Each structure stands twice: as C-alpha cells, then as structure tokens.
Structure 1
Amino acid sequence: MSIPVKGQLWIEVGENDFDIVEVQFNPTELSFEKNAQLAEINIPGLDAPIQQFVRGQAERLTLELFCDTTEDGIGANARSVTAETDKFFQLVKIIPTLHAPPVVTFSWHDEFPGNRLGEQWGNQRRTSFTGMAESVRQKFTMFSPEGVPLRATVTLVLREWRPIEQQFNELNLSSPDRTHAHVLAAGETLSALAARYYERPGLWRPIAEANGIDDPRRLTPGAVLLIPAQR
C-alpha cells in the first residue's frame, strides 16, 4: 500500500495535457453513489415481475473540500481564498479549445474505494475516479475587515466519465464465441444486443435469423432470444 498523500485532481485541459491541482486539506468525507437501471418484465401468472438488467448508471463522487488562506494574514494584505476555490469552480466552465468542461481524475492513494473488487469482476478495479464536474457549490465562511474572503468550503460533484472503448475493455463481456440466452427488455433492439454480445451493432441479422424474427422492429418484451456464437 502506498503512503497516503494529499489528494490530487488531474484536469485534462488538452490532448495529453493536464493541470494538476493538489487539495489544501484532504477531504474528511468521500461520498460515492452508483445505481443500476432495471426493467420489470410482466409475465401473466407470476407472483412477481422478472427483473432484467438494462444498464449501469453513471456513478457520482461528492467531495467536501476545505480552503483557507488565513495563514498568509487577515489584514490589508490578506490573500483571497478564491485563489484556491477558483481551481474547483473552473471545472464547470467550458474550455474554448475543447468546447466543453474538462475531464477530471481524482486520486489519493492506492487504497481507493473500488480497488478490492473480486476476481469475478475482471479488470474493473480502480485506484482513482474520473468524471466531469456536475456541480460546484462554494460557501465562504470568513472574511477580512476589507471583505476579502479567507475561508470556504467547496462541494464538488463529479459524474463518472469513461469512453466506450475503455468500458468494453474493462467489462470483457462474455465472449462472442459462446451461445447466450437473453430475456428481451422493453425498448431493446437487436442492434443493441449485437453491440452488447458481439461489440458490433451491425451484426444483428444472425440474432434475427436464429430466432425467426422477420421484422426487427416488432419485438416482444419478455421473450427469450438465442444469441448465437460468432466463430
């Protein structure tokens, strides 16, 4: 295990170009929220509907950060705490060259929540959290006699960001060389199933042929579809 250090934010300001911001004080709390979207498939005669996993939802990390510049004095030459808080406020502002706010990675040390997933979860372990700033709330709590803000708390909420290629590599979903059975959820398409099992949405025709589907636009939720192996 690495020695705990101050938490850092790696801010992607350009292609392979990062600004690194070290927090003044390590947060006393980290709050993670991750949900899964489930669909209920109603089958007549059953005591309860069938639950079908649809997809994961974006995880949220909430950071409570404390900023303080009183050690530089609180008189006429006091340093404004906005020199620290603006490092976080800028994360919800658009970078002109990117046309969007930056992607941010929060890291602290190797014992990060999510680093001890079981072997059955493949290579989804993590030692950091990458996302885009969903919100930044600033609360200024102390001022100099001249009104310069000196202390503040910042609540930063990051929403999970992972490109599709990274997700496929991490998930390594059950290999396409095996046959699968899939309970069709409402709104699912054959292209979506091909993307999930073959990683190629265009390969929906073998699924249609294996299940005798003439019109892929007319699918019945709750039907069990055979996903043939790709060899």
Structure 2
Amino acid sequence: MENGELEKLLIKAYTQADYSGDVFGEFEAYVNPNEITLAYEMEYDSSQASGTTNSRMEFKKVKPGDMSLSFFIDGTGANGVKIDVQQRVEAFQTITGYNGDIHRPNYLIVAWGTLQVKRCILKSASIAYKLFKPSGEPLRAVISATFTDNSDDETRVALAQDESPDLTHARIFAAGDNLPMMCYQIYGSPHYYLDVAEANGLDNFRNIAPGTRILFPPLEK
C-alpha cells in the first residue's frame, strides 16, 4: 500500500486444485472487514494404560485452520461508490460457491495486505440484509464467511517446518550431498540410507543426480 491508498480485500477463484491456469474470477470488497478471526485445532490420540485414570494425549497433526470475516456491502453511496448490493452478493456467491463446471466449490485465494491465506475453500457463509428501499431492493448487506485452509499436506508440512523423523520429508539432492549424511540430518543416524534408497527406487545411492527429489519416510528405529 503506497501513499495511503486503501488496500482492498480480494478473493480470487480457480477451478484447478493446484491453482494453475487462468483465474476463474475475482471479488473485491469495497468496505473492508473490521475483524478477522483465525482458528486452528490440534488433533491428538488419547491412550490409557490398564489400571490408570489419566490418558496420555499423543499429538497427531494440526488440522487445517479456519479464517472467519465479515464485511459490508453498502449501496447507499455513502462511501463514494454507488453499487448494486444484490449484484455484489451474487458475485460473491459465484466466486466462492458451487461451480457446476467442476462439480464443487471453487478453489480460493483470500488476500488482504500482509494477511494472506494462499489456498482455501469456502466453509460457510451467511448474508444479512440491513437496509432496504421502499421497493424492497436491498441497500446494505453484511456477508459473514468462514474459509478453510486448502493447502496440500506437503505444503502444510513445509510451512510448519516439521523436522521430526516420524514425518515424511522431501529433499532435493544437491551437488556435494550424500545419502548417509542426509539420513543423519533427518533420522539422527546415517545407517538408514539403504532403506531410503529402496523407498525411492535408487539402484546406486552413490550416484544420485543433482536435482533428484528424494523422500525420507518415517522409519522404525
């Protein structure tokens, strides 16, 4: 944002799960939200030994997070922009809702200033009409929407910077790397290089071409 210019909340829709291809459409909020709620949930497995009263909570994963926001659509012209409220509501529904061409809701990017959820989908939405003309035409509406993180597992793990050996890791083999040393960095021991080589179908672990993507799966020690 430069020279005090208003940064408007923008929702972009895609039809491809990997967010490739052309943008299906965009929705721009003329009046930005005054509150955004980010929610996330941890998932645990509870295990309890025989004869005990307390359960042990074993961490499993961080579930995809939610982002909830509400914003106004004002058709009175009070903010200097005269808009058709119902038309803007329908535009929001078209961008975020069900797309018959792909038989599911669109894949979304919701961005506003430094707060950005690069990959998400609409979880729920409600529209409250607040003001009407005598003819019944709406002049104001409030859209309340909740979006759920739609990042793929590999992206989510990368963002979380997980380094635990009980998670699958992906590394790009670079010049000067060697498999035993990479195993030491991930598993704490170089002795798992044959297991990793087998998991990746590598016939010669001493002759890995730079740029090769190698998966380091969870291994029992």
For Structure 1 versus Structure 2, the TM-score category normalised by the shorter chain is 0.5 to 0.7
Alignment of 1:1-231 (within 5 A): 5-13=7-15, 15-18=20-23, 19-44=25-50, 48-71=54-77, 80-91=84-95, 93-110=97-114, 112=115, 127-171=116-160, 173-174=162-163, 177=183, 178-179=186-187, 227-228=220-221
Quote the Cα distance in structure 1 between the aligned partners of 2:83 and 2:71: 18
**Cα-Cα RMSD:** 3.0
- Structure 2 counterpart SS, 1:162: coil
Larger mean CA deviation between 92-101 and 56-65 belongs to 92-101
Superposition deviation, residue 45 in structure 1:
5.8
SS of the residue corresponding to residue 109 of structure 2 reads strand
- Matched AA of 1:167: R
Do the aligned partners of 2:44 and 2:60 also contact (CA within 8 Å) in 1?
A: yes
Asked if 1 retains the 8 angstrom alpha-carbon contact of 2:74 and 2:83, the reply is no
Aligned partners of 1:175 and 1:41: how far apart in 2?
Answer: 21
Counterpart contact for 2:11–2:110, Cα < 8 Å: yes
CA distance in 1, matches of 2:38, 2:70: 12
Return the TM-score normalized by structure 2: 0.64
- Give the distance between the partners of 2:83 and 2:50, measured in 1 at CA: 69
Number of aligned residues: 168
How high is the sequence identity, in percent, across the aligned residues?
18
Higher relative contact order (CA 8 A, sep 6+): 1
SS of the equivalent of 2:105 reads: coil
Runs of 5+ consecutive residues of structure 2 not aligned to the other structure: 166-182, 189-198, 200-214
- Secondary structure of the corresponding residue to residue 163 of structure 2: coil
TM-score, reference length from structure 1: 0.62
Query: Structure 1: 5+ residue runs without aligned partners?
Result: 73-77, 113-126, 181-193, 208-226
Partners of 1:92 and 1:6 lie apart in 2 by: 17
- Gap change, CA 1:169 and 1:79, over 3 Å in 2: closer
SS at match of 1:5: coil
How many angstroms apart in 2 are the aligned matches of 1:79 and 1:37? 44
SS in 2 for 1:70: coil
Q: CA, structure 1 residues 147+81, in 2 after alignment: closer, same or farther (shift >3 Å)?
A: same
Distance 1:69 1:84 in 2: 10
